[in-house]
Each structure stands twice: as structure tokens, then as C-alpha cells.
Amino acid sequence: QKEVEQNSGPLSVPEGAIASLNCTYSDRGSQSFFWYRQYSGKSPELIMFIYSNGDKEDGRFTAQLNKASQYVSLLIRDSQPSDSATYLCAVTPGGGADGLTFGKGTHLIIQP
């Protein structure tokens, strides 16, 4: 059974600080990793994707991937109240299979 694990939170971070969101996955063959942001009652929107070990930066967001540890994280620098949302980690399965497996999400609260 493919599993993607996230701490459900809520994770409370002061405005301006760095928010760190973590995700582990069970399928060692997974190739692609995604972070989606979802506001309450809205649809998920893609923030970052990463394929290779290491860091990938896009503005205030940095995705980090460590395939040996089966671990992917999302850092949000200079957190803003508008970053308050649920963040979903998603992973493609290994073995050439299709689709995405989502974690249950981490609820992030940025405190003004």
C-alpha cells in the first residue's frame, strides 16, 4: 500500500518566520514529488514540484528532497498570513504506475 505521511497540525508559525512542512513516503520507487496548497473549501493548487535530490527554490518557497530517507519538505520563508492553508504532499508511484498519492495534508496557520 502506497503511503504518504504528513503531520496534520495545526502548525502555527509567527508572521515573517520560516514555516517547515514535512512529508515521508513509503514507495521507494517514487519519482516525482509535489506540494499543493489548499484553502478551506477551495481546490488544490500546485506550488512546487521536485524530481531530484536536493533543494529547489521558487521565490519564498523551497522544496527539499532526500530519496534515501524517503523524505520531502517544503520551506516557506517570510511567512505571510495569506500562507495560512492546508499543504498537501503528493507523490507519483514507482514501477511506472500512474496517478498521484496524496498525503492528508498539514494545516498551517501564520499568526500576525
- Between 84 and 103, CB nearer to other proteins: 103
What's the chain look like in SS3? CCCEECCCCCEEEECCCCEEEEEEECCCCCCCEEEEEECCCCCCEEEEEECCCEEEEECCEEEEEECCCCEEEEEECCCCHHHCEEEEEEECCCCCCCCCEECCCEEEEEEC
107 binds other proteins (CB under 8 A): no
74 binds other proteins (CB under 8 A): no
- Smallest separation, CB 105 to other proteins (Å): 6
112 binds other proteins (CB under 8 A): no
Binding mask 43-62 for other proteins (x = CB under 8 A): xxxx--x-x-----------
- Smallest separation, CB 88 to other proteins (Å): 7
Tell me the three cell numbers of residue 77.
520563508
- Smallest separation, CB 100 to other proteins (Å): 7
Residues that bind other proteins (CB under 8 A): 31-32, 41-46, 49, 51, 88, 92, 96, 98-105
